[in-house]
Structure 1
Amino acid sequence: MQPTTLQAIQAHAVAEYPRECCGLIVAIEGHEHYLPCRNLAGTPSEHFRLPAEDYAVAEDKGEVLALVHSHPDAAATPSDADRVMCEHSGLTWHIVSVGQVDGEAPECGDLQTIHPTGYVAPLVGRQFAHGVLDCYSLVRDFHERELGISLSDYTRDDDWWDKGQDLYSLERLHAEGFDLIEGEPRRGDMILMQIRSPVTNHAGVYLGDGQMLHHLHGRLSETVPYGGMWAERTRCIVRHREVRHD
């Protein structure tokens, strides 16, 4: 990375603080340039969202070499979500830390770089990042890895359940191949719950032996006993048509 590129990245990170900045490093006529992009994330807790239009503009200018974003008030250590999205992008990622010290103007700290290496987030113990690693992401990954079933992904806003959206509508689930079940759950069944929301807004996977895999906001994904508060908040249980049980 050229010194002028790093300086441009740091200036963007400071200007956007306390929000995350994001941008692209592009080779234009043999020279390296940093192109600041917009972050369309709705809240600071949501992983940054670089719009497709900004990426297209960068591609029109030259060859996209790397993606850049900042970690406000945090180290540049890549999160699980950073590693997952780096894999999806197929690009090198640069992460810069930015923050304030003793109330002074924000300044940048360390910079770390990651590359696509085949990383996959673990099912248990992954960090939460809405829209990237959340309860639905966990359900999707479980079905893909454990059952060989591919589920569609859906763009979802932070707090979508309070904005008139319904990620877990029965119509959508039916289209994905799920049917409502009655009786005791079996391994692989999706448990749909309602937690401080006007609609169903949380999902887990029944593992058998009274255990459920799920991922709550702000926590690591975990296995918990299914019953008690989780059973009380359950609205329905669905099973994919391709799941076979003896």
Structure 2
Amino acid sequence: MNLEQKIIDYAKQQAPHEMCGFVVFDGGKMRFIACDNIASEPEHYFEIATDDWLKVQAYDGVIALVHSHPDGEPALSAADQQMQLQSGLDWWLVCDSKLHKFRHIQPLLGRTFVNQAADCLSLCRDAYMLSGQDFPQFDYTFDWYEKGEQSYIDGLAKYGFERLADSQDLQLGDIVMMQVGSSVANHAGLYLGDQLLLHHSPNQLSRRVIYGGYYLQVTHSIWRYKQCSQLNFTAILNNLSLTINR
């Protein structure tokens, strides 16, 4: 039995309680270490004993913290995301007999801009990862748009997005492609609903803005993920909420 199936089976055994544990490196192999859920209401949340946190430090490395949502959503709640930030670990989540993996990321709001590492496209990619779809890194060079290349547009089309007609209404999760001082679309933002846009420009922190005025003027096109109905975009709003309140 492979590692992921072991984790899923253990979660089923612990239901209706949330299960918890760690995935570690042990002698060059990945291993699942189950932990007792010591929460006072284990059917609603989980808590790992301090001793268990200390014990896993003896292994060759901790890969991920694992827990389950027996009757919940296949996405990290605001509380989950807050704890993930504090843990500094990837989190794996069992829900509906599937294992969902969430990379440890910076909060979506307030990021310092780093080209190709923490830029506008990275922001959108991380938001989609939280929602349940982790896309590979897009292939683009530092000065792609100065060469007239369509790297962002090509990447969206490659990974399952389609361009909306001008008459279609925007919805949460749509990617707004903008043309900023360039001959091609070179800036991406994520539509949050209620006329709000999440984006990250050079020399600025990532932020929300009203999608109107200047941003409408520079809009090149709107793109929607073809399988968006299968994603949980509430996870993005959870992340924005925890960033505001922390």
TM-score by length of 1: 0.49
TM-score by length of 2: 0.49
